[in-house]
Amino acid sequence: MKFPAYALDAGRLAALDGYKVLDTAPETGFDDIAALAAHICETPVALVSLVAVDRQWFKGRVGFDGCETDLGSSVCVHALVEPDLLVIPDLTEDPRTRDNPLVVGDPRIRFYAGAPLRTPEGHVIGSLCAIDVLPRPAGLADKQADMLRALARQVMTQMETRRLGMELERRMAQQASDAALLETSRADFRFLFDGIDDGFCVVEMKFDGARPVDYRFVEVNPAFVHQTGLGDAKGRWMREIAPDHEQHWFDIYGKVALTGEPVRFENEARQLGERWYEVHAFRVGDPALGHVGILFNDVSKRKSEERLRREIEVLQETINREISHRLKNSFAMVLAIAGQTLRTVTEQEAVAAFNRRIHALSRAHDLLIEQNWVAAEIEGVVRTVFDALAPRERLDIGGPALKLGARATLSVSLLLHELTANALKHGSLSNDGGRVSLVWRVQDDGGGETGLILDWRESGGPPVRETGRKGFGSRLIKQGILGTGGADIRYESSGFAATFNAPLAQVQQS
Amino acid sequence: MASTRKSILVVEDDSLLRMAAVDLVEEAGYDVVEAADAVQAIAILQGDADIALVFSDIDMPGGMDGIRLVAFIHERWPRIQTILTSGKFATAPDSLSADSLFFTKPYVESKLVEAFRKMIA
C-alpha cells in the first residue's frame, strides 16, 4: 500500500502536533460536525480524521466503530495532497484504494468524499470525510460538496479555538506559578536578609566622571547596625556618615558597579572603630542604576588575634635570641675565666677537656636556638658533635628521622662528646684507619613503653680494656641519656661498644 | 727579629674576654694590640702600619659594630685580614663580607690560631 510522501512531512506532522489533539477525549463539537457531514452527504459514516505518522485518528465520528486505523486502511491519507475535495465514486475501481483492507474486507466501503483540514499556514492535517458502503457513480452534488468544504473549515475553526484555549490555560498556570515562585523567593530572601548575622546592604554609587566619590545606602539588613555601628543608615550617604571613610572602599565598589565583576577582600575601616571587614561585593539589578550588593562580616577579632599571635612570635624569637646570645657570651666568659685561673695548672690536659666540654654544650645550644628551643633533629646533633672533634668520613650513622627535646639534645650532645673524645684518645679514632658506627632506632622495651636505642660501636682501633677510671667523662657515659642509667658498656675484641636506651617520651619532652 | 713579627689587633668590649683573646694571640706568637670598641680600633689602625689582622667582636657599644668596622677596614686598608666573632649568631651573618672569617662564641682557641696562621702566613 503506497501513500503520498507528504503524509510523513515533518512540517505537516509538527503542525498536527501543535494542536495537541490526538488521543484526547471526544468533544461534542467535532461529533456534531461529523453528524452534519453524514446527514448532508447522505452517507451512513462521517469522520473528522487526523492523519498522524503511523495511523489516522478520529476526533469526531458517526457510524464507525473504533477511533483509529493504521495508515494502510486509510483513504484520507490520499486526501492530504488534493488541492480540493477528494471524491472516489467506487473505491474498488481506484488504484489507490482497491486493495484497502476496509474495501476488500468488512465493512466493504465503496464511496468516499473528503475535504482537507487545512491549517492557516497551509498544512493539511487530515480530512473531514463522508463514507458509504454503496458506490455512488454521480459523486457529490455541488451543494453537498460546498457544505462539506464549509464543515471542514468549521473543524479547523474549532481546532484553532481549542488550541487558543489551551494556550491561554497554560499561560495562566505559568503566571500563577511564576507569581507563587516570586512570592516564595521574596519571602526566602527577606528571611535571609533579616536573619543572617552577616551585614548586608545595597548601595547606589555616585560617580564624578569615572571616579567613584560616594555611595548611598538603598537597603540595609538588621545585622548591618551591629556589624558597622551605624544606625539609621538607610537612605543616607556614606561621606555624610563617615567623612574619613577610606577611599579604597569607594574605589572597590565603584569598580564592581562599572564592571559587574564581583570581588572578595578584607580591608580596614578606621572610622568605623578600626574594624576589619571580610567583604563580598557584587553588582545587583540594572547596571545603569550603579547598585552594588555588599555582604560583609566584622573580622576585627580574628585580625587582632592574628596580629597578637604574630607579635608574640616575634617577641618570643627576640627573647630566645637574646637569651642564647647571653648564654653563649657566658660560656665564652667561663672559658676565659678558666683560661686565666688554670693558666699555671700543670694538668693542662684536664683544662683542655674542660674547654672541650663547654664547647660541646655551647654547640648543642646553637642547635636548639635554630629550632627556637623546641627540638633538634638527632642526625644534626650527632653530626655537630662529631664534626667538631674528628673527620666526618670516619663516622657511619644510620637511623630514622627523630626530634630530640631540649634536655635530651644537651644530654646526647655531652654523651657523644665524651664517647668521641675517648675514641680519639684511646679508641678507634686514635689511629689512622679505625671507624665508629652510630646507629639509633625506636623500639618497644618489652614493657609496653617505647624507647630510643642508641648504639655506638668502634672498630679497627687498637685493643681496648677497661681503664677503671672514675673520671667525669666515664661517669657521664655510664649514666646514659638524660641520666636514666640505661647504658650497656662493653670492651669487645673488635673495639669499644656501648648501647644506650631511654624512654622515648622523656627523650622527646621539651 | 721583632720587625718580622706580625701584629694582631683584638677588638672586644668585654675586658675579661679581651684579656683571654690577648693571651691567646700572644701565646700563638704574635704581637698584640687591643681596643675596646670600633672607634679606638680605627684610631689605632691609623697610627700603626704593622697590623696584619683584626680580630673583632660584632656586638659592641659606640654606634659602630664589628660588621661595619670590618667593612670600613676593607675599604680603607684592603690588605688587613679580618676575623669576627659573636654569640648572637651560630653561623656567619648574611651581612658579613665574604672576605672575613666568622667564629661563633665561645670559639675553639686552636681553630682560631689555625685561622691566624693561614691568613697571615
Q: What is the pLDDT of residue A258?
A: 92
Reported as a pLDDT band with limits 50, 70 and 90, residue A374 is low
pLDDT tens per residue, range B42-70? 999 998 768 999 999 998 887 889 999 99
What number is the average pLDDT over the span A78-96?
89
Q: Which residues pair with B53 in a beta bridge?
A: B8, B81
Do B20 and A358 lie within an 8 Å CB cutoff? no
DSSP structure class, residue B62? S
Nearest CA in chain B to A367: B90
Nearest CA in chain B to A361: B106
> Of the candidates A321, A331, A359, which has its C-beta nearest B88's C-beta?
A321
State pTM to two decimals: 0.51
pLDDT tens per residue, range A485-507? 788 999 998 999 999 988 888 88
Do B16 and A331 lie within an 8 Å CB cutoff? no
In terms of Cβ atoms closer than 10 Å to its own Cβ (0-12, 13-18, 19+), residue A264 is exposed
Q: What is the pLDDT of residue B44?
A: 92
Q: What is the pLDDT of residue B2?
A: 41
Upper half-sphere CA count for residue B102 (Cβ side, 13 Å): 19
Q: What is the pLDDT of residue A260?
A: 92
Nearest CA in chain A to B91: A366
Question: Residue A55's CB: how many other CB atoms inside 10 A?
Answer: 16
Residues from chain B that touch A372, judged by Cβ atoms under 8 A, are none
> Of the candidates B16, B19, B106, which has its C-beta nearest A362's C-beta?
B106
Contact A46, A37 (CB under 8 A): yes
pLDDT tens per residue, range A443-463? 886 777 888 999 999 999 888
Q: What is the pLDDT of residue A373?
A: 61
Percent of chain A having pLDDT more than 90? 33
Q: What ipTM was assigned to the predicted interfaces of this complex?
A: 0.74
pLDDT tens per residue, range A17-56? 988 888 888 888 899 999 999 999 899 999 999 999 888 9
Q: What is the pLDDT of residue A47?
A: 93
Residue B3 has pLDDT above 70, yes or no: no
Contact B81, B120 (CB under 8 A): yes
Q: What is the pLDDT of residue A250?
A: 94
Residues from chain A that touch B104, judged by Cβ atoms under 8 A, are 328, 362, 366
Q: What is the pLDDT of residue B77?
A: 92
Residue A328 has pLDDT above 50, yes or no: yes
Residue A251 has pLDDT above 90, yes or no: yes
Q: A421: which 3 cell numbers? A: 673524645
Shortest alpha-carbon distance between residue A194 and chain B (Å): 58
Do B16 and A324 lie within an 8 Å CB cutoff? no
pLDDT tens per residue, range A101-143? 889 888 889 999 999 999 988 899 999 999 999 999 988 889 9
